[in-house]
Structure 1
């Protein structure tokens, strides 16, 4: 395992922090549908993060799931990030998804995986995410 080395801490008012999360979403019913919409999905996720208070440092899709490396402030919960990304990406992609989900207005399964990457370097997490699929 790699250890945090030369990681730059964020400083705001009276706090100093470095919060990064490895997050995974899985398609509802494990449907294999992400390959044809992969680039559009990634751009949508980046756009959502730019409009929000978190940053996507790395992202990669596989056939039925997507991995993220996300950086945020302590005041932003992982749950709020997950909700925002899932809801907005589903809404923005819905016209491409209707044929897969028969009017269900869904893309992602109910759950998600999230883990802090405090015990590995950012580079190790990036490498893992890049080499999915």
Structure 2
């Protein structure tokens, strides 16, 4: 369970589950070296951007994150930051290997992503709380 953050005149706790998939579902994250670099680059960009990675793990062709962020940064901005930073740096480290998989494309992730908010209360509990106001 997360801890409420206080800033200026508001409190917040914004947590998200995010999944990125490798382009063409290529099993690029089977390589421990690539998987570890992706994790390292993810931590780097998130630390620079005040995004907290609570949990992160790779599977053969995708990565899961549980992150915590502030209300000033949108989830689409978070996704764009992580995907572009990791793609750029993994290509710098493994250009020859990735050229064999993507030929002329300088890509790593699919265009899309999955995200959902992670709440501290269930929808039913929140519904009851709101209905019992006043």
Task: Give the alignment's TM-score, normalised by structure 2.
Answer: 0.81
Tell me how far apart the structure 1 counterparts of residues 81 and 121 of structure 2 sit (CA, whole Å): 26
Contact 1:53 1:76 (C-alpha < 8 Å) held by counterparts: no
CA deviation vs aligned residue, 1:43-93 (integer Å, no higher than 9, x gap): 111111111121111100000000000100011100000001111100001
Task: Compare CA radii of gyration and give the structure with the larger one.
Answer: 2
Q: Which residue number in structure 2 is paired with residue 64 of structure 1?
A: 61
Q: Mean Cα displacement is larger for which, 18-27 or 48-57?
A: 48-57
Q: How does 1:60-99 map to 2 (within 5 A)?
A: 60-95=57-92, 96=94, 97-99=98-100
**Structure 1 unaligned spans of 5+:** 122-133
Task: Give the alignment's TM-score, normalised by structure 1.
Answer: 0.82
Q: Which residue number in structure 2 is paired with residue 124 of structure 1?
A: none
**Structure 2 unaligned spans of 5+:** 123-134
**What's the C-alpha RMSD, in Å, of the aligned pairs?**
1.6
3-state SS in 2 of match to 1:107: coil
The structural deviation recorded for 1:99 is 2.1
Greater helix proportion: 2
**Ranges of 4+ aligned residues in structure 1 off by more than 6 Å:** none
